[in-house]
Structure 1
Amino acid sequence: MASVAIAMAAAFLLYMGIHTTAYDWIDRTQSTQEAYARQKVRTEEALQQYIKDNSIALSDLSPLDEWVEREAYVTMVIYRSGRVIYSSYPFDVENVIIPEEDAAETEVMPVSDDGAYTFTFADGTASVLLMPFYEYRYYQWADRISVICGFLLFITVFLHLIQKKTSYIELLKKELQILEGGQMEYAVSVKGSDELGELAEGINRMRMSILEREQKEAEARQANQELVTAMSHDLRSPLTSLLGYLELLDEEETEDAAQQKHFIAASRKKAMQIKEMSDRLFEYFLVYGREEKPAMEPVDGSALFQQTVGESAFALEGRGFTVNFQIEEMDGIYYVSVDLFRRVVDNLFSNLTKYAAREYPVTIACVQTKGGARLTIHNRKRMDGALVESSGIGLKTCGKIMKEHEGSFDTTEDDDGFTVTLFLPKA
């Protein structure tokens, strides 16, 4: 709209400049008394010659229509004996009467008092009043030229002003073709804050959304592939051992009750390992397969951490672990799914029972932060042969649950041991 306004202003100024200059020239050269006299003499001579060449009679003046049409800038009235017999004006000539004092006819081409000439026709004479106004032809040409020049300037200025926009549109077209080819990493150029700039920003947001979705899908496929690989290994080992013990029980002919009891206990242990892995696998798919967000409820922070972390730490001490437990006063309300948060804590302390070294203390700290609560658990890993290799399903499930609570879940492992840190934001 600004480009249109500027172009219209420039066109109007040019139109007024040409129009004023042309009209001034016409007024000085074509609308003077001298110019009018020259035009009138030239017109009267041309009309007399036309009457003579075509032998026009007063009884039939219709051939004059062609001359009047050709000479568009001349008005003509012919009258005889005080009555108008022909007029280029569009009215009924039969009802027009010229006063007797204005109807005197003299010799050929003399001028009467009303400015009429006496013309000789094929069958007599009559008074002819000619009024040329050829200067209007120049006025019309001045108007046309002014309008045309103003319009051309409007188009020129407007196209020049929107050239950047049209170039930007062409650029967006080319960049969209790049995106259409599958190169979604290509960032669309954003220029300006108008509608085109907003369009480019929208395309970039859509592009980033598609990239994020593709990345999540790739991560999900990778995670599932790793899960299948890990579970196939973790399930195969105890299942093979279980089948071996069952075959020994079936084939052994010994009646050694102690040996049979040993085989049964070992089989039961392997079966429990398989059950625990299947439970973890079911829990993993239950959390990752859920599309809607879990139902949250407001919970007091102190009660939440005392009932989950505090009780689990006390139970860990009952299993023979040395626990350094520190918890601050957790003021404030937290929106959580209590069942899911308890599942996270249970997973973490279950891992401590299986993988933590009992000869080293387990450090548990619940700290109040500005935006919520941070739980940190640090332990040393067992190094004996009874340690079972972990597939990491439980930790992945914990990370997913904390993400649904808009929190975070991180794990680090070094020479000093294994550390888990989770953050739960306040309401």
Structure 2
Amino acid sequence: MAHRKYMLTKKLALLILVAAVVSGTVFLTLQKMTDHLIEGYLSSDEYYQEESAKYIQKFSRYVSENELSSTDLIAFGEWVKKENYINLTIFKDQVLQYDSIYSAADESAYGKEKVTQYAQHHSYPVQFSDGEGRVMVDGFYSSRYHDLAFTLELLGATLIFLIIVLLGIRKSLRYLQTIHQEIHILEGGELDYEMTVKGHDELAMIAKSIEDLRKAFLDKLQAIDELQGESRSLVTEMSHDMRTPLTSLMMNLEFAKKAEAGADTRKDQYIANAYGKALQLKNLSDNLFAYFLLDKEHESELETVAVKEVIYDLLSDQVGLLHQENFTVHILGEMPDSYINVNIEELGRVFDNVMSNLRKYADPKKDINMTFLSDQEIFEIHVSNAIKEMNVTPESNGLGERSIARMMSRMQGQFESKERNATYYIVLRFWNIKM
């Protein structure tokens, strides 16, 4: 079953939506409950009258302390602003003196508007400096509690929202901390430590990328170790291979040096042997240089070429040289109308090495068979030859084959070789390119 990928942005958006719905539901529920409680308790006549009486007493003290008359409108307005949530109405001599809800345009009613029956029954006497008046206080006493309840409800809903979001991202934060700690472990050189990959979001992708990078780096280190081991082994082998002809060369030169001119007919033989060993040393050094030169070169720059054009041109020259040296070459099969990715220079060096091995080790009395095989995916060149008999088994370090294999690999191809029943077989394999 394929895992469904939730990106962090989608997960966070979903988490915020859930938190908003839950906190909003809690807010509305609390608001409904507190409104019911406040209205149920503060809407009674007893509570209203009790609160009004408290404000009447408070206002009376204010008037007494400041020796206010019934016409000190500014002082009345300041007291109303300070107390808030109330409406103050003052009558004296049965006419209106002050009403806090009146605007400046309505002040013309002061001293003229008669007291109403409602005001007469709900007002209380207050002693002003200019005589007794009646004062009525209408209060919005429940508003302050509604405001307080609203503030507490909003804080509670916000707290729930934050808790849900923090709990929701806690897992991702822990995973991010784990990634941070594991990166420090890798920085310390513990490259065998495997990164923790959990989930399918961006954090998991980052951890997966770091893990892939760790594995690639380990593979690279392993390849370097293998290459260094191969190089050390090759140097050891080459040291041994070069020491043998070098010793023989020095001995032959020593014998030739001691032999008197014309007195020892073996002097020419010593010189010939020395020359042969010198050539052998030269071939060994040339192969060694060519092999290590591949390590110094940059990655091959490949180009797409037609098989018939490039392979035919290279092989025709090489086969012509074999014919000149009395080798018989039979070509079987046909080159396909396909394309391959190669580096022309390195491809030429591959065929040079192949033909050089044929001239050295192939039996000229027997045919060399070269076969072309192809299908939709690959194009192969098979070469087989009988190995000529030699009195002395030639010393070989396989450097030529290693060079061929290395160059074919650089061109994304393959090289195979084997020896069976005194016959040597090689395969050069290329991958066809769709055009």
Band the TM-score falls in, shorter-chain normalisation: 0.7 to 0.9
Moved more, 38-47 or 226-235: 38-47
Q: How does 1:264-279 map to 2 (within 5 A)?
A: 264-279=271-286
| Structure 2 equivalent of residue 336 of structure 1 | 342
TM-score (norm 2): 0.80
**Structure 2 counterpart of 1:197, from 183, 197, 204:** 204
Which deviates more from structure 2 when the two are superposed, residues 258-267 or residues 304-313? 304-313
2:112 matched to which residue of 1? 100
Equivalent residue runs for 1:364-403 within 5 Å: 364-378=370-384, 386-403=392-409
Contact 1:119 1:125 in 2 (8 A): yes
- What is the Cα-based RMSD across aligned positions, in Å? 3.8
Matches within 5 A, 1:252-271: 252-253=259-260, 255-256=262-263, 258-271=265-278
Counterpart pick for 1:162 among 169, 172, 196 = 169
Residue among 17, 21, 24 paired with 2:33: 21
Pair 207,123 (structure 1): closer, same or farther in 2 beyond 3 Å? same
Q: Is the 8 A contact 1:57 1:123 kept in 2?
A: no
Does the aligned pair in 1 maintain the 2:299–2:410 contact within 8 Å? no
Q: CA offsets, 1:309-363, max 9 Å, x none? A: 5664675577677766533342223343333213212212322443456788765
In the TM superposition, what whole-angstrom CA distance separates every residue of 1:372-423 from its partner, at most 9, and x where no partner exists? 2122345566775522322222222212211222212234467876543321
Instruction: Flag the 1:237–1:91 CA change in 2: closer, same or farther, 3 A.
Output: farther
Please, which of 241, 246, 258 is the counterpart of residue 248 of structure 2?
A: 241
**Structure 1 contact 51–121 (Cα < 8 Å) conserved:** no
In terms of mean alpha carbon deviation, does 189-198 or 305-314 score higher?
Answer: 305-314
Equivalent position to 2:216, from 209, 214, 217: 209
Q: Of 54, 57, 61, which aligns to 2:67?
A: 57
2:196 aligns to what SS in structure 1? Answer: coil
Corresponding residue SS for 2:415: strand
Letter aligned with residue 207 of structure 1: R
Query: Residue in 1 aligned with 2:56?
Result: 44
Structure 1 residue runs of 5 or longer lacking an equivalent are 105-109
Alignment of 1:7 onto 2:13: no
**Is 1:132–2:132 an aligned residue pair?**
no
Q: Which residue of 2 aligns with 1:107?
A: none
- Residue 404 in structure 1 maps to residue 414 in structure 2: no
TM-score of the superposed pair, with normalisation by structure 1: 0.81
Count of paired positions: 418
Aligned with residue 425 of structure 1, among 392, 407, 431: 431
Query: What 5-or-longer segments of structure 2 have no aligned partner?
Result: 1-12
Quick one: distance in 1 between partners of 2:349 and 2:286? 12
Q: 1:32 to 1:416 in 2, by over 3 A?
A: farther
**Residues 120 and 4 of structure 1, relative CA distance in 2, 3 Å threshold:** same
Q: Match for 1:366: what amino acid?
A: F
Q: CA deviation at 1:144?
A: 1.4
Aligned residue for 1:187, secondary structure, equals coil
1:31 aligns with 2:43: yes
Residue identity (%): 26
- Which amino acid is the alignment partner of residue 337 of structure 1? N
